[in-house]
Chains A and B, each alone.
Chain A
Amino acid sequence: MKTTIVTMVMTLMVMVTFAQDKNKKMTFDVNGKCAMCKARIEKAALNVKGVKYASWDIASHQLSLIMDERKTDPMKIKSAIVAVGHDTKELKATEEAYESVHPCCRYREDNTDDSGHH
């Protein structure tokens, strides 16, 4: 009996945790430094089906997202972002993708806030 209840509660907890949210909000770190990076990062995120809203803050490097969890997941979005050359905490861009960004966006060399210069 006890086991059944525990199992039920556990199952329920998992269900609750995974009730898929149509408008899931999340933020995570993305490396970059300027307004060009911002446009590139937001565009990459929005190009992932299911991402409704993407806003990257230059100063804090935070990418705020609203996404439909039934259609996408954070890893897919991160893969799309590293594919255009921007590192995230988990996934890193290839040298090739990183080299493709505009020279002024080379955040790995000099990670200062360049928002005033563009």
Chain B
Amino acid sequence: MNKYIVVWVATLLPWLAFSQEKVEGMVVDSGASNEPGLPGANVYWMDSQIGVVTDIDGKFSIPYKKEYNKLIVSYVGYESDTLTVNAPKTLRLRLKASNTLDEVVVQQQRDDIQKAYFSPQNVVTVNSAELLKAACCNLAESFETNPAIDVNLSDGLTGTKQIQMLGLTSPYLLITQENIPMVRGASQAYGLTFTPGTWIESIQITKGAGSVVNGYESISGQINTELVKPLTDNALFVNGYGNENGRYELNTHFNKKLNEKWSTGLYIHGNKRTQKEDDNGDGFLDAPLADQINVMNRWQYQDPEKGWVSFFNVRFLNDGKQVGQVDFNPGTNKFTTHAWGSEINTRRFDTSLKLGYVFPELPFQSFGFQTAYSLHKQDSYFGFRTYDINHESIYTNLLFNSIIGDTRNKFKTGLSFAYDGYDELVNTADYSREDRSVGAFMEYSYENLEKVSLTAGLRVDNHNRLGTFVTPRFHIRYTPWGQGSLRGSFGRGKRAANIFAENQQLFASSRQINILNEGGEVYGLEPEDAWNYGVSFLQGFNFLNRKGDIALDYYITDFKNQVVVDWENPQEVSFYNLDGDSKAKSFQVEVNYELLTGLDFRTAYKYYDVSTDYKSGRLQKPLQAQHRLFANLGYKTKMKENGSQWKFDYTLHSMGEKRLPNTASNPVAYQLAAYSSPYNHMNAQITKVFSNAFEVYVGAENLSNVQQDNPVLGADDPFGPNFDTTIIYAPIMGRMFYGGFRVKI
């Protein structure tokens, strides 16, 4: 019994000890006749951590401690009062009105909401300084110094660079320009070459499942390009480029701030190659004769007071390429057997409008509206084959951003609408179709600024060919310890494959085109449907007082259905629905380290296992190097006051062997080995910045001068049965020097 009492008293004691002595009272307005109470006044002990606010009647109750004796009462619009209080008691505090406003200041603050370093998504941002490391020339060529993206040649004629992420080619990526889907449909093959490099402000690369906000099509990742803005770009910018193979490019930007709210920019790009180049002596041009005019006009409206931001863009593009035999003359040899040739002419018109509204009083709440229209016309022929495609596209997206409770819980929700009209003619077969989709999405993100953040998105779409379907995507980040970041993601993507536009290289071959399925919604085939899962780990470190980081990631893309492109019979290319398994697995380890002040080193090793069940059995994806090594060294001298500086950059791509499509049924002369040999590809560039206004650069591509000796199979008989330009596993152009300048005012 005694024990219980002891326990009871012991439990009570601390309560008693802390049973609070209080100062209670009321804060009143001394100026008014009946001295009304002042609700919301601050009452606190000087130099303490104890404070309270008076209630609706002006009453308050504040704990008393002996250490404190100065009680301060303050209230907006009244003079503060300090009283000496030496014992708990009840007080009536009279405040006098004053004319000075204190404390409450309404302040506009728009930044700091986005904390990219806490992002749950595996995003790499490529800024303009990085883009300058490879000076030439367009978006397709902007990824040479970045290990997240692999760049391959798509065919042996056009020199078009094709990009890959996680072992999958660009059709499986969502490529957007300022968040509007851009390189898709008819522009899939050459679209990346239609964005000049100088127009690019930055690129965001998201590996794996992306966000649901911009659509359901992305499967292995998203690439977003931000273009230069009229308000922030140089008033005048001129860039000229030339290389020894006769490619010339000219870029000019004019930007003008019209008034406080409006700015406009005019961007003109032209490139040309008239010099015929046949280094390997196969009778075919190593690079196309080309001609491009690309003009864009942007208008930017900004009213921070009212919270409006808007962009309006118009762009016109005319691109012409001629490829084929060196002595091919389009005027006289077209559709004859005198010489094999091809012309690809593209005209494109784009316009887009973006409207953004940030609630001036609520920086975390905003509306966004974007709409885009594009018309893409490609007229082309390849020997006797013709391929014409017109693609008209409309895209509209309405977005609302806000919070649930506080800014740690955010959400985005909205609606989107897309229309794609295709007029597609392959020789005489008409594949015209119209696609329409409408969707609704919701994305929730949680960010507690510390250990965990996540993004969970869901969208529901109705598409006239893909049906009604749900696209979930999820990302999570966990910080186990300092400078460490562990991420995981999964998500679904679904798309209609545009088999001809995406595989245009097939036309420049004698392969017969087969579509093996019937009854499906797109070319008789079923839509592609895949899930992507990934984990990644990033660790920053300090070694010998210099900063570095190491990143590892592993992703799997698992196709539920895929349109298999089967090149395994050298006389045919077949398209069919996946029957069995198709998985793309990729592993990457990347290290960044500052070796010396100004000397940065980046290296990466990549391993791919991309296997698909073909009709002939399970095979690795052709022309894919399973092992790749990447290294980049960059050195910058210290910048002088006028901005002058030297910059040196060196990049190495080491490619392992690639599996070549089966050519065993060809005559011996046209047979290829089962695997290509490994090779090293190196680029280097030196930039001399004279001042903030002027710089020049020189560089070389393919320093080790590796070349594929037979990029055109059957080059001796281009109208024969073994003509094939699709098997490209190494560079076609040998060592090549280039130079250029930039003027910025």
A64 to B600, CA, bound (A): 38
Q: B residues within 8 A CB of A18? A: 39-40, 56
Quick check: which of B106-114, B183-191, B383-391, B518-526 contacts chain A, the rest being far away?
B106-114
Residue contacts A-B, CB under 8 angstroms, 18 given: A14-B36, A23-B361, A23-B362, A26-B103, A28-B103, A39-B450, A46-B407, A52-B405, A57-B112, A64-B109, A74-B42, A74-B103, A75-B42, A75-B51, A75-B53, A79-B51, A90-B42, A91-B51
Q: A residues within 8 A CB of B405? A: 52
Pair A94/B53 contact, Cβ less than 8 Å: no
- Complex interface residues of chain A between 67 and 118 (CB less than 8 A to chain B): 73-76, 78-79, 82-83, 90-94, 97
Pair A53/B53 contact, Cβ less than 8 Å: no
Pair A76/B72 contact, Cβ less than 8 Å: no
Pair A92/B48 contact, Cβ less than 8 Å: yes
Pair B363/A53 contact, Cβ less than 8 Å: yes
Instruction: Place the interface of chain A in its size category.
Output: 35 or more
Pair B40/A43 contact, Cβ less than 8 Å: no
Pair A79/B49 contact, Cβ less than 8 Å: yes
Q: A residues within 8 A CB of B50? A: 79, 91
Enumerate the 8 nearest inter-chain pairs by beta-carbon distance, A residue then B residue, closest first: A82-B49, A73-B53, A75-B51, A75-B53, A92-B47, A55-B112, A52-B406, A90-B44
A59 is an interface residue with CB less than 8 A from chain B: no
Among B39, B42, B51, B364, chain A packs the most CB atoms within 10 A around the CB of: B51
Q: A residues within 8 A CB of B39? A: 14, 18
Pair B42/A27 contact, Cβ less than 8 Å: no
Pair A90/B74 contact, Cβ less than 8 Å: yes
10 new A-B contacts at CB < 8 Å, known A46-B407, A93-B49: A7-B34, A25-B361, A27-B105, A46-B406, A52-B405, A52-B406, A64-B109, A75-B43, A90-B42, A91-B51
Tell me the smallest distance from the CB of B392 to a CB of chain A, in Å: 43
Q: A residues within 8 A CB of B403? A: 52-53
Binary A-proximity of B640-683 (CB < 8 A = 1, otherwise 0): 00000000000000000000000000000000000000000000
A51 to B364, CA, bound (A): 13
- Complex interface residues of chain B between 103 and 150 (CB less than 8 A to chain A): 103-107, 109, 112-113
B90 is an interface residue with CB less than 8 A from chain A: no
Residue of chain A at shortest CB distance from B37: A14
Pair B49/A83 contact, Cβ less than 8 Å: yes
Pair B107/A64 contact, Cβ less than 8 Å: yes
Residue of chain B at shortest CB distance from A92: B47
Q: B residues within 8 A CB of A97? A: 49
A18 to B364, CA, bound (A): 24
Residue of chain A at shortest CB distance from B38: A14
B52 is an interface residue with CB less than 8 A from chain A: yes
B408 is an interface residue with CB less than 8 A from chain A: yes
A42 to B449, CA, bound (A): 9
Residue ranges of B at the interface with A (Cβ–Cβ < 8 Å): 32-34, 36, 39-40, 42-44, 47-53, 56, 72, 74, 103-107, 109, 112-113, 361-364, 403, 405-408, 448-450
Q: A residues within 8 A CB of B72? A: 90
Pair B48/A55 contact, Cβ less than 8 Å: no
Pair A74/B362 contact, Cβ less than 8 Å: no
Q: B residues within 8 A CB of A90? A: 42, 44, 51, 72, 74
Q: B residues within 8 A CB of A43? A: 448-450
Residue of chain B at shortest CB distance from A21: B361
Residue of chain A at shortest CB distance from B44: A90
Q: A residues within 8 A CB of B33? A: 3, 6
A15 to B656, CA, bound (A): 76
Pair A91/B107 contact, Cβ less than 8 Å: no
Q: B residues within 8 A CB of A14? A: 36, 39
Tell me the smallest distance from the CB of B53 to a CB of chain A, in Å: 4
A10 is an interface residue with CB less than 8 A from chain B: yes
Q: B residues within 8 A CB of A74? A: 42, 53, 103
Tell me the smallest distance from the CB of A53 to a CB of chain B, in Å: 5
A66 to B591, CA, bound (A): 41
Pair B36/A78 contact, Cβ less than 8 Å: no
A105 to B559, CA, bound (A): 51
Residue of chain A at shortest CB distance from B60: A75
Residue of chain B at shortest CB distance from A89: B103
A96 to B408, CA, bound (A): 28
A58 to B76, CA, bound (A): 25
A17 to B49, CA, bound (A): 27
Binary B-proximity of A1-17 (CB < 8 A = 1, otherwise 0): 00100110011001001
Q: B residues within 8 A CB of A79? A: 49-51
Tell me the smallest distance from the CB of A2 to a CB of chain B, in Å: 11
Q: A residues within 8 A CB of B48? A: 91-92
A14 to B53, CA, bound (A): 16
A27 to B363, CA, bound (A): 14
Tell me the smallest distance from the CB of B106 to a CB of chain A, in Å: 5
Pair A54/B407 contact, Cβ less than 8 Å: yes
Q: B residues within 8 A CB of A27? A: 104-107
A3 to B33, CA, bound (A): 9
Pair A75/B44 contact, Cβ less than 8 Å: yes
Q: A residues within 8 A CB of B408? A: 46
A62 to B103, CA, bound (A): 11
A28 to B49, CA, bound (A): 16
Pair B36/A55 contact, Cβ less than 8 Å: no
Residue of chain B at shortest CB distance from A29: B103
Residue of chain B at shortest CB distance from A93: B49
Q: A residues within 8 A CB of B34? A: 7
Residue of chain B at shortest CB distance from A7: B34
Q: B residues within 8 A CB of A91? A: 44, 48-51
Residue of chain A at shortest CB distance from B72: A90
From B107, B361, B364, B406, give the contact of A62 (CB < 8 A). Answer: B107
From A46, A55, A73, give the contact of B109 (CB < 8 A). Answer: A55
Pair B406/A92 contact, Cβ less than 8 Å: no
Tell me the smallest distance from the CB of B227 to a CB of chain A, in Å: 29
A90 to B71, CA, bound (A): 10
- Complex interface residues of chain A between 18 and 52 (CB less than 8 A to chain B): 18, 23, 25-28, 39, 42-43, 46, 51-52
From A28, A39, A52, A82, give the contact of B364 (CB < 8 A). Answer: A52
A46 to B405, CA, bound (A): 9
Tell me the smallest distance from the CB of A13 to a CB of chain B, in Å: 10
A23 to B365, CA, bound (A): 12
Q: A residues within 8 A CB of B364? A: 52-53, 66
Pair A94/B49 contact, Cβ less than 8 Å: yes
Residue of chain B at shortest CB distance from A35: B117
Q: B residues within 8 A CB of A7? A: 34
Tell me the smallest distance from the CB of B73 to a CB of chain A, in Å: 10
Residue of chain B at shortest CB distance from A73: B53
Tell me the smallest distance from the CB of B103 to a CB of chain A, in Å: 6
Tell me the smallest distance from the CB of B99 to a CB of chain A, in Å: 15
Q: B residues within 8 A CB of A55? A: 109, 112-113
Tell me the smallest distance from the CB of B649 to a CB of chain A, in Å: 27
Tell me the smallest distance from the CB of B423 to a CB of chain A, in Å: 50
Pair B362/A66 contact, Cβ less than 8 Å: yes
Q: B residues within 8 A CB of A17? A: 40
Question: A75 with B52: in contact, given A7-B34, A55-B109 (CB under 8 Å)?
Answer: yes
Q: B residues within 8 A CB of A73? A: 40, 53
Residue of chain B at shortest CB distance from A66: B362
A11 to B37, CA, bound (A): 11
Q: A residues within 8 A CB of B362? A: 23, 53, 66
Pair A53/B407 contact, Cβ less than 8 Å: yes
Q: A residues within 8 A CB of B107? A: 25, 27, 62, 64
Tell me the smallest distance from the CB of B194 to a CB of chain A, in Å: 40
